[in-house]
Every structure is written in structure tokens, then in C-alpha cells.
Amino acid sequence: MNNKSNEKFSLSKRLRSFSYAFNGLRTVVKEEHNARIHLIVSSIVIVCGFIFQISIIEWIILCFAIGFVISIEILNSAIENLADFVSPEYHNLIKKVKDISAAAVLVSTISSVVIGILIFLPKIILLVNN
């Protein structure tokens, strides 16, 4: 068994771990359609944040919501890929795992949409009424 706590600190290994993470991010953007949709919507929301001059607290909440959805999408993609590797053929239990993983993305997305509505709807109403 490999005990990482006994390993000597290595800056090059830490930097290499970042390259693995960026490779994973590239893979998700390249291969996962829903991840690209989340990134496009996130970009639109960020532009709206500048247009409506949201507060620093609203930026913090928005950044957290965006990061939350994208992170859950990445985890969902990892789970789906692992499930497909472990069981390439259809299996009820694998379907259940993939459905639950997809549900996590749905819940995070719905909560982020609610956050977006709470931040932007009052500003849109104010704009329309003026």
C-alpha cells in the first residue's frame, strides 16, 4: 500500500498534478456537450453581471454557483466514464448510478438558476419599469 503521507514534498509533482487537472478540464470541454452548454450559459451570466453592475456579494454568490454546477458536471462525467468502463453492457445498477449522478447536475443547475433569478430579476424589473 502506498502511503502518500511519507512521501517527500516535490514541487514538480505538485505542478504536474495541475497539468493532469487541466487535461481533465480540456477533456470535459471537448467531449461533454452539457459541459459546453454550462460554460456558454455561464459566460452569458458573467456578461449580464457586468451589464447590471451586480454587487461584490452577488459576484461571490454567482461565482460559487457557476463553479458548483461545472464541478458537479465534471464529477458526473467522471462517474459516467468510469461506469461505462466497468460495465460497457447495460446493467440496471450502472443505470441507477448514472441517473443519480445526472440528478446531482440537475439539482445544482436548478439551484443556480434560482440564484440567477434572485440576482437578476429585480434588476430586469427595475430596467423595464424605468
Q: What per-residue confidence (pLDDT) applies to 2?
A: 60
Mean pLDDT of 107-127: 97
Copy the grid coordinates of residue 41.
Answer: 450559459
- Give the sign of the dihedral formed by CA 26, CA 27, CA 29, CA 31: positive
Q: What per-residue confidence (pLDDT) applies to 3?
A: 66
pTM of the prediction?
0.87
User: Residues 52-99: pLDDT tens digits?
Assistant: 999 999 999 999 999 999 999 999 999 999 999 999 999 999 999 999
For residue 106, what pLDDT band results from cuts at 50, 70 and 90? very high
Residue 38 pLDDT exceeds 60: yes
For 52, which DSSP code? Answer: T
Name the fold adopted by 11-129. Helix Hairpins (1.10.287)
Q: What per-residue confidence (pLDDT) applies to 8?
A: 87
